[in-house]
Chains A and B, each alone.
Chain A
C-alpha cells in the first residue's frame, strides 16, 4: 500500500514540532527555492491544479491571484484556517499536531506568492494538542533566519500570530473568521466585498485551509507534474480522508485524490462493523448530500462527486451501515447545525430550528404527515436565503436524506 500516507502524512514528515527532523525531511528547501523565484510558486500551484481542501474545491491559484493583484492597505493578510469544527472532519488537527512545520512553511510560501506580510493561524480552541504543537513550532520560527529571509524576499517583515477561535462552528466560515480575528463575534459578512478586496481591517486577505497550505512545500520542491501524478484519473495530488462511522478502522487516510469510496471503506477502512451492509455515506461531512451503496465505485475527488450530485467537501466520509437509522443521524446533525446557526439571518436560524424540531419529533415517534410536508417545503424555500452556506448545507442534507430514505421517515410517523 505505497499509496497510503505517501505525501503529507509520510512517516518522515510526522515529526511534530521537532524542527531538526523536519529539516532532515527537506523542510525549508521549498522556501529556499521560492526565494530565488517567488513567482514560480503560484505557477506551480496553478499547474498542479491544487484545489481548496477545506471544502470549497475552488482552484487555489485563482484565489491567490486575486489577492496578489491587490496592493497592501497598508498590509495584506493570510488566514490559515484551522477552525475545523465540521462533524466527522479531523484532518487539519492531525496535520497541526504532527507536521506543524510543513504547514508553516506552506503558509510562508503562500505569503511570498501573493505579497502577504501578516500571517494568522486561526485554530479551533478545543484542539489543545494541535494548539500546543503549533505554538511550540511557531516559537521556533520567531526570530529565525528562515523567517528573516522570507521577509527579505517579500521586501518587508513577515509577522506570524496564533489566534485561537471562538469555539463557534460558524467561525469556520471565511468572513466570520475575519470578524473574530478583528475582535468581534464571528458573524459571516455579506459578500461582496470579498476578502481579497476587503478583509481584516479592510486589508486584502487570503484565507486557506490548513491541508491546502500543507501541500505547498512539496509542490514547490518536487514540481507540479509529480503532484499531478499522485492523483487518479483527472484528479491531482493526495487527499486526507477523514473516515468515521460504522467502519472497523476509522481514522485519517491520506490516499490518491480520486480513490474510490469502495477502496477507502473496504481496502483501508476494514469494511463495515459486524459485516453489516453499507447503507449510506455522508460525503464531505453532514452538510452535504448522501451517497448510497450504488455509489461505491465513485472516485472521491471534486469533479467525480459533483457529477454524481454530491460533493467532496472536506473529504470527510461518515459511513452508515444497515444497523444505523438515517432519521436519528440526520436528527443529530440537525441539532448541531440548528445550534450553530449564528442568528443574524432569521431565515437560517428559524429555518434550521424548525427543521431540527420537526425531525426530532419524527425521530421520537411524535411526528405527523403534516410535519413531513413542512420539512419538504422548508428544504425548498430556504436555500440561498442566508449570508453564508450553512442554511444551504442543511437543506441539502435533509433533502438528500429524503430522496434516498423517505421510507424511514414515513415508518417513524405516529
Chain B
C-alpha cells in the first residue's frame, strides 16, 4: 500500500472503470460485487481452479495479470476483467496417434511454434500458478512429455500464458497435450485392466443379487 493509502478498514480502487470502495480482505471478485460493477461474468469457481476470472491489474506504473478470486483489494489499484481467451488454434485428436514412437514427430507438426521459443519469459510472468512455463515448453519440444506434463500439473487453463506468448506457442495447450499423451499411451494400470478383463468375461448383473436393507 502507498503512503496515502485508505484507512485500514477501507480501500478505494477502480474495477472495469468503476470506482469501488471495498475492504482489504476482500478478493477482487467480492469487491466487484460490493461495488455493483456491471457485467462481470468471467467468474466461476471462486477458488482459483477454473481459470475464468482473468484480470489485468495496474499497481502504480506496473501492469500485471492475475486471477481475480486470488487477488486482494488494495488501495489505488486499477483492475480490468479480461475477455475470455481466444479459441484454441492447434488441432489434434488423440486417436490420430497410432504409435507411441511417433509422438515427438507428430508434436512438431501440431505445435510447430513450440520449437521457436524466444525466451522472453512472458509466459512465466503471466502464470498465476507459478508454473515454470518456459521450461515446460522446452521439455515438450525435446520430446520429454511426461516431465512436461508434470510441470503443468497445477495448470488451470486460464490461458494467460497463451495471451502473453509472442510466438503463438499456446503453452497451456502444449502442457495439456503433454499430460494427455502420457496418459493415453503409458497409463496401463494392472488392477484396472484385470478387473476389466474379468468383467469382459463375466459381465456384471445385479438382478439376482438383491440387497437386503
Distance, CA A342 to CA B164, complexed state (A)? 10
Interface residue ranges of B37-81 to A (CB < 8 Å): 39, 56, 58, 61-65, 78, 80-81
Are B82 and A343 interface neighbours, CB within 8 A?
no
Contacts of A187 in B (CB 8 A): 120
Interface residue ranges of A247-298 to B (CB < 8 Å): none
Contact of B58 among A342, A350, A357, A385 (CB under 8 A): A385
Distance, CA A343 to CA B64, complexed state (A)? 13
Are B122 and A343 interface neighbours, CB within 8 A?
yes
Distance, CA A347 to CA B125, complexed state (A)? 10
Distance, CA A115 to CA B125, complexed state (A)? 41
Chain A, residues 179-193, CB within 8 Å of chain B (1/0): the string is 000000101000000
Are B16 and A377 interface neighbours, CB within 8 A?
yes
Distance, CA A376 to CA B14, complexed state (A)? 13
Q: A342-B166, A349-B163 are in contact. Are A357 and B83 (CB under 8 A)?
A: yes
Are A374 and B122 interface neighbours, CB within 8 A?
no
- Shortest CB-to-CB span from B110 to chain A, Å, is 21
- Shortest CB-to-CB span from B148 to chain A, Å, is 20
Chain A, residues 337-348, CB within 8 Å of chain B (1/0): the string is 001011111110
Distance, CA A354 to CA B163, complexed state (A)? 8
Contact of A373 among B16, B118, B125 (CB under 8 A): B16
Contacts of B65 in A (CB 8 A): 346, 350
- Shortest CB-to-CB span from A197 to chain B, Å, is 22
Distance, CA A373 to CA B118, complexed state (A)? 33
Q: Which of B61, B80, B165 has the most CB of A within 10 A?
A: B80
Are B63 and A374 interface neighbours, CB within 8 A?
no
Are A370 and B165 interface neighbours, CB within 8 A?
no
Contacts of A34 in B (CB 8 A): none
The number of chain B residues touching the other chain, given as a range, is 20 to 34
- Shortest CB-to-CB span from B92 to chain A, Å, is 23
Contacts of B194 in A (CB 8 A): none
Are B118 and A347 interface neighbours, CB within 8 A?
no
A382 at the interface (CB under 8 A from B): yes
Are A341 and B63 interface neighbours, CB within 8 A?
no
Distance, CA A108 to CA B119, complexed state (A)? 36
- Shortest CB-to-CB span from A101 to chain B, Å, is 36
Contact of A343 among B17, B58, B81, B165 (CB under 8 A): B165
Chain B, residues 104-134, CB within 8 Å of chain A (1/0): the string is 0000000000000011111001100000000
B192 at the interface (CB under 8 A from A): no
Interface residue ranges of B6-34 to A (CB < 8 Å): 16-17
Interface size on A, residues (CB 8 A): 29
A154 at the interface (CB under 8 A from B): no
A219 at the interface (CB under 8 A from B): no
CB-nearest residue of chain B to A186: B118
B1 at the interface (CB under 8 A from A): no
- Shortest CB-to-CB span from B126 to chain A, Å, is 5
Chain A, residues 370-395, CB within 8 Å of chain B (1/0): the string is 11011011101110110000000000
Contacts of A351 in B (CB 8 A): 56, 63
Are B83 and A371 interface neighbours, CB within 8 A?
yes
Are B56 and A384 interface neighbours, CB within 8 A?
no
Are A347 and B64 interface neighbours, CB within 8 A?
yes
- Shortest CB-to-CB span from B202 to chain A, Å, is 55
- Shortest CB-to-CB span from B9 to chain A, Å, is 27
Distance, CA A345 to CA B39, complexed state (A)? 28
CB-nearest residue of chain A to B16: A377
Contact of B63 among A346, A353, A373 (CB under 8 A): A346
Contacts of B165 in A (CB 8 A): 343, 349
Contact of A378 among B80, B120, B126, B160 (CB under 8 A): B80
Are A377 and B61 interface neighbours, CB within 8 A?
no
Contacts of B126 in A (CB 8 A): 346, 350
A358 at the interface (CB under 8 A from B): yes
Distance, CA A169 to CA B99, complexed state (A)? 42
Interface residue ranges of A315-365 to B (CB < 8 Å): 339, 341-347, 349-351, 353-354, 357-358
B88 at the interface (CB under 8 A from A): no
- Shortest CB-to-CB span from A176 to chain B, Å, is 12
Contacts of A371 in B (CB 8 A): 83
Are A343 and B62 interface neighbours, CB within 8 A?
no
Contact of B121 among A344, A357, A370 (CB under 8 A): A344
B199 at the interface (CB under 8 A from A): no
Q: A346-B126, A354-B82, A374-B81 are in contact. List 5 more A-B contacts (CB 8 A).
A: A185-B118, A185-B119, A185-B120, A187-B120, A349-B164
Top 10 closest pairs, chain A to chain B, by CB: A347-B63, A343-B166, A343-B120, A385-B63, A343-B122, A344-B120, A350-B163, A346-B126, A346-B125, A377-B17
Q: List 20 A-B contacts (CB under 8 A).
A: A185-B118, A185-B120, A339-B166, A342-B118, A342-B120, A343-B167, A346-B63, A346-B65, A346-B125, A349-B163, A350-B56, A354-B56, A354-B82, A374-B16, A374-B83, A376-B17, A378-B56, A378-B80, A380-B78, A381-B56
- B residues whose Cβ falls under 8 Å from a Cβ of A: 16-17, 39, 56, 58, 61-65, 78, 80-83, 86, 118-122, 125-126, 160, 163-167
